A and B are shown apart, each in its own frame.
Chain A
């Protein structure tokens, strides 16, 4: 009995000070980081904190925004703790927004704070705020049921499944930052009144932003790089008014890189879907022709996009990594790849299959 008592006493001593009840924690739902321009304190750290209640109604979400300037992220967050009455908890912070100016001036290596913190989930999404992160944080969407939900749903494909939205979780962002032959991308969030618009993507090299794609290009990028279905193929109907719109329900992409001095990259894309919109009387005609035209149009646009990306000097698809993986590449091969990448040729083969005209007959 005495032994057991002693054991319990030892156990009690061993316990850490980790116990902190859930109602003594402040949940950060969105974190924003901006560039201040002040060389002493270059980072402005802003946190959107959830004010919880047990009743959840549409539009009932309440948040509090706190913000401070600091020399580094860690200092900023520590300083912000003195602004609030409860312990800050990043466990449910699933969206991190970086201001556009930060990406123009800052150094992505300083961002390792995210990857080091134990309590930041590796599935937290990263995005770019335009014009800055704080203004995104200030938006209060009317439909939001609980704090920060609108951005969670936007990025984790639980709610909306838009082909324009590219989600980059922390693990992927870090991987793209450190991996040879693969570059980071970030979705751009803009605001309109009280909603968010996420329809563009920003391509970065290892440190700075390089190229922002427009919505149509973003969709193409998302379809081929992330195999996002529920997207669309569009072309004007030939010889008639109106447009032909095909919803893509299934998409397969395959990349092959030839081992030539200047490699050629062949991207085979298989698309299946149904015609969602087409001019009258089109349905009775030859679908093969529609498929061919859609495919032709798709590969033309894709080749143009790939060349644009190549000319910007970034590699969001990971062609370089693919090349190294296929041909047992080492450092020398990667140097060679970097030297020839500006000259590589792209060939996009699109195989479009129309499965039907929908439920109309």
Chain B
């Protein structure tokens, strides 16, 4: 066996290949120490083979223990080793022992989608643990799982989960078709997969939902969606999704009804503000000042008196600053992160206005835009809104108020046109239908 492996893997330095002799008989053992749990190898193979050796028992163990799988095909050996299995040849038969090193053994804490009073556990970067988390929350015999591998070089394991009574069949078919067509060398993150899979890398809005919360995935599966778990990524993908799913935080379901609705309403207002406020500032202060109340018009007029550039340049200056600040605080290491916020806050808040570079109203506009963008619960959706804002700004530079209104209309048209795995993106009444289907599913099962 060892010669065969040598010919496949060309004897890498981190591969251990041993021929072991315990005095009675010999065994060939081969594994990657870095990828295997050494303690398991010791407990599972070395101890029974060395000082507890009993030929009958050892043979029985190899044949009946669930951890040992007979590996008859030599061409699979390389992949098995690379997945973290140990291979052993005993009495002419080759066995594979799954002693994969696990980095995580407990669920992670939510980091991106924090919840105040909901569950605090999140998916990890280990697929098996993620499967456990999902099965734990969706403990039903109807939960169906499919397994596949993607990526020529990464050989990433992917699991597809859905409830077989509730799932939307056409979407599932489309997903399978799209997965089949994907040819990637490396699958590193679920987002990457989601992007390729959507067939819409240039879409302005995300059409698959990424989440790190097992409770959200369980809820989506219950609503007939399909979930994809990717090994090595702590984000699961759910599809098909609608516009409104992105504005939903799990806390909405855990808080009293009316408070939840109120917060959702604020979230939509925040989204609209974050998208349109800079463009409204341009169009009102450069095209239609009669839109303001007279007090505000006069104070904008007064505060803009020192500003040398037209309003859209002012807007671009401030928007660039705030985007740079947000980007910097995401990428910076935690230790220096607060420095960026302090420096940025000082510059944005005071100095820019005192230097006469921007008006004081613009500072308020900028901060409202930034803060209300953070209100959006889903980060990929909030990226979309951040980008949409610039389309509005450009429209308002050329056409003023009319431009903003027409762009808004165009955005709605675009959203109506968008499809997420065959389902309309902006369908208002899908949810009711899903709930009816869920009820039907519960009755039939």
Contacts and interface: CB of A to CB of B under 8 A. Distances in A.
Interface string B396-407: 011110000000
B294 A23 contact: no
B303 interface: yes
Chain A, interface SS category? loop
Interface string A1-41: 00000000001101100111111010101000000000000
A15 B398 contact: yes
Given A23-B301, A54-B302, A91-B290, A11 B398 contact: yes
19 contacts: A14-B398, A15-B397, A15-B399, A18-B400, A19-B397, A21-B310, A22-B289, A22-B300, A22-B301, A22-B311, A23-B307, A25-B301, A27-B301, A52-B298, A54-B303, A56-B298, A146-B295, A148-B294, A149-B295
Given A54-B360, A56-B299, A21 B304 contact: yes
A54 B299 contact: yes
B297 interface: yes
B301 A12 contact: no
Contacts of A56: 295, 298-299
A42 interface: no
Contacts of B294: 27, 29, 92, 94, 146, 148-149, 152
A57 interface: no
A119 interface: yes
A21 B286 contact: yes
Contacts, number: 77
Nearest to A12: B398
Nearest to B395: A11
A100 to B, nearest CB: 27
Interface in A40-56: 50, 52-56
Nearest to A11: B398
Contact of A22 (B304, B360, B399, B400): B304
Contacts of B307: 23
A22 B310 contact: no
B290 A22 contact: no
Contacts of A18: 287, 400
Contacts of A52: 298-299, 301-302, 305
A293 interface: no
B208 interface: no
Interface of A: 11-12, 14-15, 18-23, 25, 27, 29, 50, 52-56, 89, 91-92, 94, 119, 121, 146-149, 152
B372 interface: no
A91 B310 CA distance: 20
Contact of B310 (A19, A29, A149): A19
Interface in B244-301: 285-290, 294-295, 297-301
Contacts of B286: 19-22
A91 B288 CA distance: 8
Interface residues of B, number: 25
Interface in B299-356: 299-305, 307, 310-311
Contacts of B289: 22, 25, 27, 89, 91-92
Given A23-B305, A91-B289, A91-B290, 17 more contacts: A12-B398, A18-B287, A21-B304, A22-B289, A23-B301, A29-B294, A52-B298, A52-B301, A54-B303, A54-B360, A56-B295, A56-B298, A91-B288, A91-B297, A146-B294, A149-B294, A152-B294
Nearest to B305: A23
B285 A21 contact: yes
A53 B398 contact: no
Contacts of B400: 18-19
A159 to B, nearest CB: 12
A119 B290 contact: yes
Contacts of A147: 298
A352 B115 CA distance: 61
A135 B369 CA distance: 47
Nearest to B284: A22
- 8 closest Cβ contacts across the A-B interface? A91-B290, A54-B302, A15-B398, A52-B301, A52-B302, A23-B304, A54-B303, A22-B285
A25 B300 CA distance: 12
A19 B315 CA distance: 15
Nearest to A152: B294
A279 B286 CA distance: 61
A52 B302 CA distance: 5
Contacts of B301: 22-23, 25, 27, 52
Of the candidates A19, A29, A121, the one having the most CB atoms from chain B within 10 angstroms of its own CB is A19
B359 to A, nearest CB: 8
B293 to A, nearest CB: 9
A137 B287 CA distance: 28
Nearest to B283: A19
B374 to A, nearest CB: 29
Of the candidates A14, A22, A23, A89, the one having the most CB atoms from chain B within 10 angstroms of its own CB is A22
A305 to B, nearest CB: 36
B223 to A, nearest CB: 38
A338 B310 CA distance: 59
Contacts of B288: 91
A146 B298 contact: yes
A297 to B, nearest CB: 42
B69 to A, nearest CB: 53
Nearest to A22: B285
Contacts of B298: 27, 50, 52, 56, 146-147
A38 B295 CA distance: 38
A338 B280 CA distance: 52
Contacts of A149: 294-295
A146 B290 CA distance: 16
Contacts of B360: 54
A25 B311 CA distance: 13
A21 B315 CA distance: 13
A91 B294 CA distance: 9
A52 B305 CA distance: 9
Contacts of B295: 56, 146, 149
Nearest to A94: B294
Contacts of A11: 398
Contacts of A25: 289, 301
Nearest to B294: A92
A92 B303 CA distance: 18
B55 to A, nearest CB: 72
Contacts of B303: 54
Of the candidates B300, B304, B398, the one having the most CB atoms from chain A within 10 angstroms of its own CB is B398
A354 B158 CA distance: 81
Contacts of A19: 286-287, 310, 397, 400
Contacts of B397: 15, 19
Nearest to B400: A18
Nearest to B295: A146
A18 B310 CA distance: 13
Interface in B228-255: none
Nearest to B285: A22
B204 to A, nearest CB: 14
Given A15-B398, A19-B400, A147-B298, A121 B310 contact: no
Contact of B290 (A53, A54, A121): A121
Of the candidates B289, B301, B307, B398, the one having the most CB atoms from chain A within 10 angstroms of its own CB is B301
A278 B359 CA distance: 57
